[in-house]
Amino acid sequence: MTNSVVNKDLKITLKGKDFLTLADFSKEELMYFIELAIELKEKQKRGIPHKLLEGKTLAMIFEKSSTRTRVSFESGMFQLGGHAMFLSKNDLQMGRGETISDTAKVLSRYVDGIMIRTFGHHIVQELADNASVPIINGLTDDYHPCQVLADLVTIYEKKGSFEGKKLAYIGDGNNMAHSLLIGCAIMGIDCTVAVPENYEVKADILQKAQERAKDTGAVIKQVYEPVLAVENADIIYTDVWTSMGWEDEMQDRLKAFAKFQVNEELVKHAKDDYLFFHCLPAHRGEEVTAGIIDGPNSVVFDEAENRLHAQKAILASLM
């Protein structure tokens, strides 16, 4: 593994940049984040100080609640020597009608970076267009790039490389599916998403991932049969069937996704040493059985831990 901290060219390239989607980065830049995350993780485990953001402040805007996003970013800033400021929609005038652009310009005078977890992707884009500090996408309805960077860190740790690996995503064509398609395409991982009809990934995002895959040779596709996706897979990934904001569709979704559960029968089609991923929170008995998520092939808590280290790499690089 190269020592990412001394890669001066990439350090210069990434400083001050926004982190809105993985598609904004090259394979080399994503590898920089991954190796830096592993390096910072090792320093934390060994008790080696890494106060790379001493005196820096991160504003964290939450229009959608979260466990992992809030705690990992707040802990990460503390470990890097900085300070994180939690701002709910009720703490900001943005929730009372102040424009996104005005909010971006004002916060840029106070803080060194802004992380936002929100609904429409246009909100983070407008923040980025008007802020003079880095904007980090903590989640939107279309993308979840911080989670997938942590997933890539976990794959790299567990499998040693990305080449020749196959990831099967089973479930809703949501923000997780979108970011996994793009992340896998860039890093050269074959990725097949299996979705029910009417719950496909967005066509333009699938096309974007397939375009990026031309550089790495990754096979990127969408199917409607879980077994086709899981066949010979190294990684099986799923997410909840009803994401935040779609609760009124829950009963319809339970019916539509009934054949898309990751269970003991489905995983027989994967490699014996497959890894099970889930971004959490999970609904045992719905999208995955307890025997799989709590079984020996599951790495969901290592994956969750790596949110901290991946985001520290993002924060340290951009801020």
pLDDT in tens, the chain (319 residues): 444 455 778 888 899 999 999 999 999 999 999 999 999 999 999 999 999 999 999 999 999 989 999 999 999 999 999 999 999 988 998 867 899 999 999 999 999 999 999 999 999 999 999 999 999 999 999 999 999 999 999 999 999 999 999 999 999 999 999 999 999 999 999 999 999 999 999 999 999 999 999 999 999 999 999 999 999 999 999 999 988 777 888 999 999 999 999 999 999 999 999 999 999 999 999 999 999 999 999 999 999 999 999 999 999 999 9
Q: Which helix (H) or strand (E) holds 303?
A: helix 300-318
CA-nearest of 276, 264, 56, 64 to 151 is 276
CA-nearest of 319, 263, 259, 314 to 20 is 314
Q: Which domains, ranges and CATH numbers included, belong to the chain?
A: 22-143+306-318 (3.40.50.1370), 147-303 (3.40.50.1370)
Annotated binding site: 66-69, 93, 117, 144-147, 175, 239, 243-244, 279-280, 307
- Burial category of 265 from C-beta neighbours within 10 Å (exposed 0-12, middle 13-18, buried 19 and up): exposed
Annotated binding site for carbamoyl phosphate: 66-69, 93, 117, 144-147, 279-280, 307
CA-nearest of 164, 166, 217 to 193 is 166
Q: DSSP 3-state assignment of 137?
A: strand
Q: DSSP 3-state assignment of 95?
A: helix
CB atoms within 10 A of CB 95: 14
Annotated binding site for L-ornithine: 175, 239, 243-244
CB 14 within 8 A of CB 317: yes
Q: Which helix (H) or strand (E) holds 221?
A: strand 220-223
* Token pair 């909840």 in the structure block, residue: 240
- Residue 304 phi/psi, 5-degree rounding, is -65, -40
Active site residues: 117, 144, 147, 239, 279, 307
∠ Cα 105 108 114 (to 5°): 110
